[in-house]
A and B are shown apart, each in its own frame.
Chain A
Amino acid sequence: MSRGVKIPKHKKESITNKIATYLKPKVVYIPLICQNDTNITVLVKSGDYVCKGEVIARKRGNFKVPIHSSVSGTVKSIIEKPYLSGDMVKCVVIENDFKETVLTETEPKRHINDYTKKEFIEKIKNAGIVGLGGGGFPTYVKYDTDEKINTLIINAVECEPFLTADYMLGLDKCEEILEAIDAIIDINDIPEAIIAIKRGNTKTKEIINTFIGTYLKIKLVEVPELYPMGWERLLISQVKGVSYNKLPIEKGIIVNNVSTIYAIYEALKFDKPLIDRVITITGEMIKEPQNVLVKVGTSINEVIESIGGYKRFKDIRFITGGPMMGDAIDTDEVVVSPNLTGILVLRNNDKDELLECLRCGKCVNACPAKLSPVLIMNSLSTPEKLKGLRPEKCVECGLCSYVCPSKILVRNYVIKAKEKNK
């Protein structure tokens, strides 16, 4: 089974001394979407005054995740703005009054380990914490289980090239993150926590080792520098040597992204909901690539301007997310959502010559989901053949397209097959 492929990292470009901030947007557009679900109830109307951190909408259905205002100010309207997928999504427009007024309902505990499990789940649910690694799955759901949790894995692998938000946050907030991990395993009675970092990430290793001494239950594990090592299934198989059927909890495992852990820390410590995050803005067409702490709902074009802007305006590609799984979209007025990990601006370089598939089998060898992409591609027109090839298992990591020597966009065919097979 393939554990992934070694691909160029391109991380140095966006690693700077400090995470920049862009926390004073005049207007925010809070996207009304959660895990690609736009079935959301809006709780405010035009003209309402909202505090920073106030719940302005709530997801309907199973997981009633709240959505918070990231500024204090006046609700202007609800308009459509581009989301990271490029699709237009309804957003609540709030004019910032820069007062940063907050509602203080409950006093947060002074010691974050003092929460009961019930309080903890309630807290992170009300703080609207979702997976910040790109998944956007409500975090509280993972903990709200009757199964015994044996291991908490903190995913600090960040296997997508170019992106360094987790890395920078990890360096900057190492102590806080360790404190949060300790609290989480204490509250949930988890015997061990494993921080997974990439082999060769010496700086993170050093800094964690400096502070880890007092936390006996937290271990640091290095995983190979392969893509997509950060994929939950692969990471668990690498770190714990087990595989699961549907969810990691079957094996008593919870995986949280390192940025999510910091968001949990802020919720527990300061009663702060998820209203901002660190994103990487990088790529050869960005003047000064770096990481920026931004508020949810900020229009990305403002952020890019604030850090120096583009090198050129024509013949470039604007990509939301990393280069492997991200999407190129035609506008930079994308709004920050919790699952936006970064922005990549590259020159348009699609000179690669498309050739016939020579059946070299490299996509088969690369696929971490054990698929046979070349066969899926060639069976697109015969549904009965497709079934046995299990295209629904595809995680869209993009490795098949990456390795293809004939430069075929194999993943697109597999996604097509996935849809056909539904």
Chain B
Amino acid sequence: MKEFQVTSGPFIRDKNSTKKIMFHLLIALTPIILFSFYKNGIIPFINDKVTILGMFYPLIFIILGPIFTFLTELIYVKFFLKKDHTEVKRHINSSFSIFPGLFLALVLPINTPISILFFGSVIATMIGKMLFGGFGHNVFNPALIGYLFVTVIYGSMIASNGGYLNAMEMDAITTATPLSNVALVEGIGTYETLVEPYGGLLNFFIGTIPGALGEVSALLCLLAFIYLSILKVIKWKIPVVYVGTVFAMTCIIGSYNGLGVWYPLFQVMSGGLLFGAVFMATDPVTSPTTPIAQILYGLFLGILTVLIRYLTPYPEGVMTSILLMNMFVFILDKIGSRSRFNFNRSVFSFLFAWVLIIGLSLQIGYGFKKEDPKVDTNFNVNNIETKDGKTVYTVTQKGFSGNIKAEITIEDDLIININVLEISDDYYPKVTKENFDKQLIEGQENITEVETVSGATVTSTAIKNMIINTLKDYRGE
């Protein structure tokens, strides 16, 4: 007796599978993980900066991320949803639960305590993924949801712990990450102030600059991009347009201020832009599916990133831009699907993007020109009190986040005491730990020579500027 099975066509299928896609993603991430281990573990160990445990810390950290998200999902499915054994197995098999944790670990600073990584992983899985209905249904990139919570709640703690600087960088580099350094330099900055502290653009390309665990090497991100694009794992249009937009905008801003092509390159290779563009912005679930929507997504990601970098106190902007744009994916896809039949449907969106790109670039570029960087406009004298030969200045100075308010006591033309009254900078505890105020008092004769606190450069520079400004005012300069 003949038996014919009736199934639905087509009867041949492409050999590609979701599992293969995820596997290729892991392959592309491997060199990045190894480089992080080399840069943050092996090199400091060779130079006797860390113990053997310290050497393996970056690797352990990166491996723990995926383990945490995997376990969170397993426990949730098994004990909260109370699924039976086969269902749990099926879920684990099809949910790719390791990725949020892996990406989260790669975008966090080296000095993040493991407990915070654990917290972030649980948040990433539960709020970022399971709350929306699990793999394929989440609106936001789960790893970035975890990152958001970690940064908002524990940002200052991580920063006071050393932030992005590994053991080598704490000693060698006086400044923080390249982009937080941008806020310190005068005006838009120069090659000497922006790039040279990190040893030149080649270091940005290779990845020997301070930054999150997995996102510093432009070269490895580029290689991963090529690998993933050839194998059609990622939506290649998104990173190309995203990075291209940031490059074009910073190119306009830079050339308006007479800076060479190094400037847009510096902007593109800093702040985890390449890592974010290649791995986070292309997360299939949370990015657009139609080609035109992918291009628009890249354009607006670029615009938002530049906007955040230049017009807000937050130096990086990549992760925030991606999270924000995640919300608009469905609208972009609506435009994208309709403009497949009639391209005119997307013309308005493109025009809007072009206007923003050119307008913002010119506006930001012009803004730098107008500013006279010699005078610190963010300094204010609130009160001057003189008694017993002492002069007490109550001043405010713009810090990393918000104003720093302090009482500065001057006796015999010399500062004898600095009393910080109000400060909201996350990095301040590190500054007090280093007795920075004492250093300033001791070095006031040659105050410009006083070195700022590594790992809290913005805050310490602000305090230093505050002293300089106070002295200027006192001396009537």
Which residues of A does B touch, CB under 8 Å? 1, 7-8, 10, 86, 161, 310, 313-319, 323-332, 344, 346, 348, 350, 352-353, 355-362, 364-365, 370-372, 374-375, 388-390, 398, 401-407, 409, 411-412
Contacts and interface: CB of A to CB of B under 8 A. Distances in A.
A324 B10 contact: yes
A405 B289 contact: no
A317 B1 CA distance: 14
A375 B289 contact: yes
16 contacts: A314-B2, A314-B3, A323-B10, A324-B10, A328-B5, A328-B11, A330-B4, A346-B11, A348-B5, A353-B17, A358-B18, A358-B136, A360-B18, A361-B290, A405-B20, A406-B18
A372 B340 contact: yes
A316 B9 contact: no
B334 interface: yes
A328 B16 contact: no
B459 to A, nearest CB: 42
Nearest to B16: A405
Given A358-B285, A361-B284, A317 B333 contact: no
Nearest to B90: A353
Interface in B1-33: 1-14, 16-18, 20-21
B401 interface: no
A174 B28 CA distance: 52
B460 to A, nearest CB: 46
Interface size for chain B: under 10, 10 to 19, 20 to 34, or 35 or more residues?
Answer: 35 or more
Given A324-B10, A361-B294, A405-B14, 15 more contacts: A314-B3, A327-B9, A348-B5, A352-B13, A356-B94, A356-B134, A356-B136, A359-B284, A359-B286, A361-B235, A372-B340, A375-B333, A402-B10, A402-B14, A405-B16
B291 interface: yes
Contact of A401 (B3, B5, B10, B16): B10
B287 A359 contact: yes
Contact of A348 (B7, B16, B137, B333): B7
A411 B383 CA distance: 75
A324 B337 CA distance: 24
A97 B15 CA distance: 50
Contacts of B137: 356
A323 B136 contact: no
Contact of A364 (B5, B14, B136, B289): B289
Contacts of A411: 9-10
Contact of A360 (B9, B284, B333): B284
B4 A372 contact: no
A325 B17 CA distance: 21
B79 interface: no
B284 to A, nearest CB: 5
B17 A405 contact: yes
B4 A318 contact: yes
Given A323-B12, A411-B10, A315 B134 contact: no
A315 B14 CA distance: 22
Contact of B12 (A315, A329, A402): A402
B419 to A, nearest CB: 56
Contact of B289 (A86, A317, A318, A360): A360
B331 to A, nearest CB: 12
A315 B7 CA distance: 11
B207 interface: no
A314 B21 CA distance: 34
A258 B288 CA distance: 41
**7 residue pairs, one from A and one from B, having the closest CB atoms:** A356-B136, A361-B289, A372-B337, A398-B10, A323-B11, A348-B5, A318-B4
A357 B289 CA distance: 11
Contacts of A358: 18, 21, 135-136, 284-285
A411 B287 CA distance: 22
A380 to B, nearest CB: 14
A328 B4 contact: yes
A8 B16 CA distance: 13
B11 A365 contact: no
A310 B2 contact: yes
B338 interface: yes
Contact of B17 (A317, A318, A402, A407): A407
A223 B286 CA distance: 37
Contacts of A318: 4
Question: Main SS of the interface on chain B?
Answer: loop
Interface string B278-313: 000000111111110010000000000000000000
Most B-side CB within 10 Å, residue of A325, A352, A365, A375: A375
Chain A residues touching B, majority SS? loop
Contacts of B14: 7, 402-405
Nearest to B234: A360
B341 interface: yes
B336 interface: yes
A390 B345 CA distance: 14
A331 B333 CA distance: 43
A412 B8 contact: yes
A361 B229 CA distance: 14
Contacts of B10: 323-325, 398, 401-402, 411
Nearest to B3: A314
B17 A328 contact: no
B336 A372 contact: yes
Interface in B201-249: 232, 235
A20 B6 CA distance: 28
A314 B4 CA distance: 7
B136 A357 contact: yes
Nearest to B233: A360
Nearest to A347: B5
A319 B8 CA distance: 10
Contacts of B340: 1, 370-372
Residue among B11, B285, B338 with max Cβ neighbours from chain A (10 Å): B11
A238 to B, nearest CB: 18
Interface string B324-337: 00000000011011
B9 A325 contact: yes
B7 A328 contact: yes
Contacts of A325: 9-10
B280 to A, nearest CB: 15
B7 A350 contact: yes
A316 B336 contact: no
B334 A388 contact: yes
B16 A403 contact: yes
Contacts of A406: 17-18
B4 A317 contact: yes
A384 to B, nearest CB: 12
Nearest to A350: B7
A398 B8 CA distance: 10
A310 B4 CA distance: 12
Contacts of A371: 337, 340
A350 B8 CA distance: 10
A326 B291 contact: no
A371 to B, nearest CB: 7
B290 A372 contact: yes
B12 A324 contact: yes
Contacts of B290: 361, 364, 372, 375
Interface string B394-429: 000000000000000000000000000000000000
A7 B13 CA distance: 9
Contacts of B2: 310, 313-314, 332
Contacts of A388: 334, 337-338
Given A317-B4, A388-B334, A388-B338, A326 B289 contact: no
